[in-house]
């Protein structure tokens, strides 16, 4: 069983994405698991790096560049985080 629960993790990832991408809570842009991080949330390659660092800090994990290259949707980012073991 993963150490990070998907149910507890998803809302925290949504907050990270909103903060890193400057999407206010009252914005009409919905952040959910179906969103494309690039197409729907308008992230660029620098945003991806900042999102990875923020997730690493928040969840105590390491995300390799290779792993992040495979991530297209918010749901895939959550799945990747769930798969990772916290760094001791």
Rounded to whole angstroms, the Cα distance separating 68 from 27 reads 26
Whether the model clears a pTM of 0.85, i.e. scores above it, the answer is: yes
Could you read off the pLDDT of 56-76 as tens digits, one per residue? 999 999 999 899 999 999 999
Quote the pLDDT of residue 26: 86
CA 85, chain centre distance (Å): 16
**Long-range contacts of the stretch 38-44 (C-beta < 8 A, 24+):** 38/72, 41/17, 41/74
Tell me the CATH class for 6-83: mainly alpha
CB 63 within 8 A of CB 16: no
Positive or negative, the Cα torsion across 53, 15, 73, 4? Answer: positive
């Amino acid at each position: 069983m993963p150490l990070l629960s998907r149910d507890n993790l998803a809302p925290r990832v949504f907050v990270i994405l909103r903060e890193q991408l400057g999407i206010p809570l009252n914005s009409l842009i919905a952040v959910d698991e179906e969103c494309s991080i690039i197409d729907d949330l308008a992230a660029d390659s620098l945003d991806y790096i900042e999102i990875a660092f923020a997730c690493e800090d928040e969840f105590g994990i390491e995300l390799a560049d290779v792993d992040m290259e495979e991530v297209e949707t918010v749901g895939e980012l959550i799945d990747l985080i769930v798969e990772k073991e916290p760094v001791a």
